[in-house]
């Protein structure tokens, strides 16, 4: 989980996730969304996202196509939701103990 959280700690990577959330996009399309960032830097971000498992890469001729790995994102969400659930359970227990 640490790797996933560190990966998403970079705002450009989060934006890349948003870009490919619903549809697969070519690396060039993704890079075009960041006019002030070099294509090499975007390529490095895509590599980090791919190695972490948050995006999948597929080759289509000479193009590299990227899409979100929704299963891995769901796993991360479940991990984060567990913090929320634990906090709510503690709050409920505290409220119930105060009622008694």
Handedness of CA 78, 58, 43, 19 (dihedral sign): negative
Q: Are 16 and 39 in contact (CB under 8 A)?
A: no
Task: Give the mean model confidence (pLDDT) for residues 69-98.
Answer: 81
What CATH number is given to the structural domain containing 35?
1.10.10.10
Polymer length of the chain = 100
* The pLDDT value given to residue 55: 97
pLDDT bracket for residue 100 (50, 70, 90): low
| Residue 42: count of CB within 10 angstroms of its CB | 20
Instruction: Provide the domain limits for residue 89.
Output: 2-99
pLDDT bracket for residue 96 (50, 70, 90): confident
Which of helix, strand or coil describes residue 63? strand
Q: What is the pLDDT of residues 23-80, one digit of tens each?
A: 999 999 999 999 999 999 999 999 999 999 999 999 999 999 999 999 999 999 888 8
Q: What is the total count of domains within the chain?
A: 1
């Amino acid at each position: 989980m640490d790797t996933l959280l560190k990966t998403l700690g970079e705002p450009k990577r989060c934006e890349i996730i948003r870009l490919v959330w619903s549809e697969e996009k070519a690396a060039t399309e993704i890079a075009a969304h960041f006019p002030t960032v070099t294509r090499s830097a975007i390529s490095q971000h895509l590599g980090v996202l791919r190695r972490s498992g948050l995006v999948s890469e597929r080759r289509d001729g000479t193009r590299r196509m990227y899409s979100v790995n929704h299963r891995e994102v769901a796993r991360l969400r479940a991990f984060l939701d567990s913090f929320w659930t634990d906090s709510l359970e503690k709050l409920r227990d505290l409220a119930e103990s105060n009622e008694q």
